[in-house]
Every structure is written in structure tokens, then in C-alpha cells.
Structure 1
Amino acid sequence: MTTGTDIPLRHLEALESEAVHIFREVAGEFERPVILFSGGKDSIVMLHLALKAFAPAPVPFSLLHVDTGHNFPEVLDYRDRTVARHGLRLHVASVQELIDSRKLRERPDGTRNPLQTVPLVEAIRTHRFDAVFGGGRRDEEKARAKERVFSLRDEFGGWDPRRQRPELWQLYNGRHAAGEHVRVFPLSNWTELDVWQYIARHGIEVPSIYYAHRREVFLRDNMWLTPGDWGGPKDGEPLEIRTVRYRTVGDMSCTGAVDSSAADPEAVIEEIAASRLTERGATRADDRMSEAAMEDRKREGYF
């Protein structure tokens, strides 16, 4: 007899099996894959799956982090500890370096998430990566909902819907011309709830800001933002100390915290199960710039 607790367990096992299969397919089909690693929960789970896919051998891929210069210190600390723990190689593509060299221009609002495309594509070209693993999920946002698991990109990182291939029976086509590459999304069919249930089941460590903590924040556009050198708060934006947590991790200038008392994975799962907003819809200002903000960035070469 099947019990209620068996259902999520089998569901997570099926998702895990699919992701492990994708990692092994890429290892056999591509020459220079890389894993995008931000220190956020999705990239953490993705790395855990990669470690599992090739154990006891080491992961045959390096990591790539696009550093905006406005990242949360807790996340950067977690990133560096993880790299050291598993003996991984980390490449860092810096937004600040491109601003200093005048290849990029700082935005008036101080937000740097939209500036990540250029350093990302430049790093892919410089290191000749032919497959780039990303932690995007279809439930996050409508532009991601239409993505394939293998997403073909041109030499500039651009996405063209007319060039994407059907993926029947979990058969993936990684063929690409010289200079092109493929973005690969092993977590495509996962949800935010799946990710947290997997974290809870396997006892995976995540940065402390994913759990409730006391923090100095200010309100802007109905989001609680962390003050910093990026340009906040402004006049008329008083600081408050609140108990909050982060559902997603990005640039400090556009990633909002939510009021929460969830201090462990089980409490987070309970909170997410009752939510009617995705984490990006609730806490990411960069996705609110226009109705097609994420779609435009995808076409230009982002995620």
C-alpha cells in the first residue's frame, strides 16, 4: 500500500534520476562543460546532483560565478567554502572589472543583475565552454517556462526559439556549430518546493540568509532591501530591523527579503506550500522592469 509520504519521496527520486542522467549525457557529449554557481539554492542542489552523478570520481566540470560586486557576503563565503571543500576549480566573471575597463556602464538605479550578460558571454567565449549548466526552473518565470533542457545559443549567447530542438523520450541533441554553445538546465522540471524538499531530505547546507534572521532593511517598491554601497537607502526610505529571510539570492540591489519566521528547511517548506507567488515574482525587482524583462535578457544571452 502506498502512503502519502511515499509520493514526494518517489517524486524526488524521479527528479534526481532525470538530473543525474542529464549530467552524464553532457559529460559524454561535450568537451568543455561548466556549472554556473552563484551560491544560491538551485545551483547548490545542482552541484550536489553533479557530485552524485560522478561519485566516487570528482566532478569533471569547473564552476563559473558571475560576480556583480553587490553579492551578499554570506553567499560569497558559502561559495568559497564549497569550492575548497570539494576541491573544485572556480572561474569568476566580474561585472566590476568590466565597469572599470569601461566595457560596461553602471546603471542609474545601481542594479547590476542586468549587467551580467556581457561578462557571462565573455567568460564562455574566453574559456571555450561548449555546455553551460544553469539552475533555471520552468516554474520560476514565464520566459523560463518555454526553455528546453538543452537550450542552443549562438556565438553571442543569444537564444532563438526557432532553433530549439524537440526533446522526446529524454533524448537530447547537443549538436552545435563552432562558437556556439548549449545551456543545460537539469532542474527544469523541479519546483521551488521540490528544491527545498530535496534540501531537507539530504541535509544540504545553504547560506544562512535563506533562513529567518534579524536584519536591517528598508522598503522600496514593496520589497525589503538590504542597505549597501549600491545606492540604498535613499531619502525617505527609513531603515528597520525585521525578522526576514531570502527566497532567492541575487544582486543586493534587486533581491528582496520576505517577512518570515522559518528557521529550518521544514518551516521553509511549510511556508512555500502556502505561498501563491514564485520566489522571483515575489522578491526580484529586475524581473519587474517590464512584462518581457526576462525574455529580453534571455534573447541577449542571459541565464
Structure 2
Amino acid sequence: MDNETSVSEFLLLEFSDVRELQILHFFLFLGMLLATVTGNLLIILAVAFDRRLHTPMYFFLVNLAMQDLGFISVIIPKSMVNSLMNTRHISYFGCVVQVLSFPFFVGCDVYLLTVMAYDRYIAICDPLQYEMVMNRRACTQMVAGVWVGGLLNAVLNTSGTFSMPFCSNVVNQFFCEIPKLLKLVCSDLYLIEIGILMFSATIAIVCFIFIIITYVHIFSAVLKIPSAEGRRKAYSTCLPHLIVLSTFFLTAGFAYLKPTFNTAPQLDLVFTILYSMVPPMLNPVIYSIRNKDLKVALAKLLGLR
């Protein structure tokens, strides 16, 4: 119990104790970081400089790109520095910043993907009311609600986690992840944070169910469109969002719903990388592949024909 007041830093899980593999990890993460930053910045700039893309769908897409930039910037640079410098340390304050920022961007992603599903629902199921329902003021309020909701989620989880004493400073993850930190707590107060996590998970499940119901209505409406061209255009606006949703929820589900017993740390590492790095990196590619207007805007931004 004497150790519960002496935690001034934490030790993160290292990818390997072999120097060559540490360098390899650094360059792999560097490549993924550069790809994610480049792709999301191009999306933001393309929408900003093309007035034809100043619509609710692309407004939400820009916010998603901003969240993905924050998502990956919270945890990856510190892990890269640790591998490069052959260390495992992160300061107490640095751990607090990661615990505050990571749930913030995860929560924002869940809420924004839900709003984007509602946007597609109105656009396809009630197109005559679209401009009135999804006006600039409504879109701004929705996005503000997304960011505020993410912040409240982050503050609740951070205060719940760091209000408890720690008996160890060895985190079995490559960043300060709340479930791993709870295993270091030497007090029954960890049940408070588990309750907060359950509340956050319940909200995420409600959002997921809302999205599923929304897309049932969307695809029912699309099947009633008489022309093949109309159905193709409707699918082209919905499929990227649906693929992004599937990527995010499936990878997060594998990371948190897998059996906790007899799980190797390396397997935990793989699942965490999948849901924390793959969706932010793939989202710009997914949205640009089937979107002709966005591809034209990107080509114009890059000076391509």
C-alpha cells in the first residue's frame, strides 16, 4: 500500500526488446501515421477549397477527418518515441492526457457516425425535407453536441480512473488504456469507473442500434427507387459510410469483446492496433474511392487532370 502514493510515471508495454524490431516498429508506425495524416488533411483541404462540397455530408466528413487526426495523434507518437529511444516510460501527466484524449475522440467518432447515418436517412428517405431539416444551424448544433458529448465522456472516465490509488505502474498496453489501468488499482473504488465504462458502452450500443435501424429504412427506400441510376447514386453515398462504420465497430468489438482469460499480450496488441490505427488510416480512402465529387476536388487540389 505504500506504493499507491509513489506513482509518478508509468511503464508501457514495449513491442520488443530486440533493437532491430524496435526500429522496425518505429518505421511501421511512422508510415501509418504519415498515411493517416496525409489522407485526412487532403480530405479537409479538398472540402474547404471546393464550394460544391459545402454540404452537410461533407461538413460531417471534415469533422470525422479532424477526429481521426486527433485519434491517432494521441497515442502513436509517444509509442514511436519510446521505441526509438529504447524506453518504456510515460509521465503521470502524459498518461492523464492519453486517458482524457482517447475516450474523447472515440466518443466523438461514435456520435458523429450516428449523426452521419441520420443525415443519409433524411437525404434518401425524406429528400424533400432535407434542406429544411439539415440546415446550417442544425448541422452546427449536431456537431457541437458531438464534441461536447465526447468531452463529457472523456472527463467522466478520466476523473473516475485517476481518483483511485495505483499499486503498480506497469501498464500492459502500448498506451494508457483505461481497462489496463484499472488492473493496477488497489481499491474497490475501481467499481465506480467500471460503472462509468458500462454507461459509455450502453450509449455506444444505443447509437449502434439506431444506426442499424436507420440503414434498414435507408435500404428499404433505395430498393423502391425505380431507376437503376438512382439506386446506384443512393448506394454510392451510403456504402462508404457503412464501410467506415463496419470497420470501426468490428475492430473495436474484437478489441473489447474478446475473451479476457489466457489472452496473450501480443494478441491484445494486435487488436488494439487494429481499432486504434486502421480506421483513421482507411477512412479517407474509403470515402474517396466511390465519391466522384470528392475525387474531382482532390484532383483539383493536387493539380491533377
TM-based fold match above 0.5: no
For the pair shown, the structure with the greater C-alpha radius of gyration is: 2
Q: Name the structure with the higher helix share.
A: 2
TM-score category (smaller protein): under 0.3
Higher relative contact order (CA 8 A, sep 6+): 2
Q: Name the structure with the higher strand share.
A: 1
